[in-house]
Amino acid sequence: MVRLKLRAIGTSVGVILPKEVLARLKVGKGDELFLTEVPGGIRLTAHDPTLEEQVELGREFMKEYRETFRALAR
């Protein structure tokens, strides 16, 4: 667990992420993070959850039409 302190940043409030957290997320200055609500709390991730859904739909499509793609590749 990492304790974070809210800080005033201009007229907003922000959180400073420690170096260890940035390293685990594999992000740095200028990168984007995505915050989503999940049952029981929130999730902070470095990858876009909507992109993850699109990739999964693409995998399902390719699996369904595997034989067609195989025939087209010949």
Model confidence pLDDT, tens digit, residues 6-55: 999 999 999 999 999 999 999 999 999 999 899 999 988 888 777 777 88
pLDDT given at position 7? 94
Model-level pTM greater than 0.85? Answer: no
| Residue that has been written with the tokens 């400073």 in this structure | 16
Name the nearest CA neighbour of 17 among 51, 37, 46, 47: 46
- Residues 42, 7: Cα–Cα separation, whole Å: 19
Average pLDDT over residues 54-69: 88
Task: Please report, for the chain, the start and end positions of each structural domain, with discontinuous segments joined by +.
Answer: 6-73
Q: Would you tell me which CATH number, out of the four given (3.30.310, 2.10.260, 1.25.40, 2.60.40), belongs to the domain 6-73?
A: 2.10.260
pLDDT given at position 47? 80
pLDDT given at position 27? 94
- Residues 47, 44: Cα–Cα separation, whole Å: 9
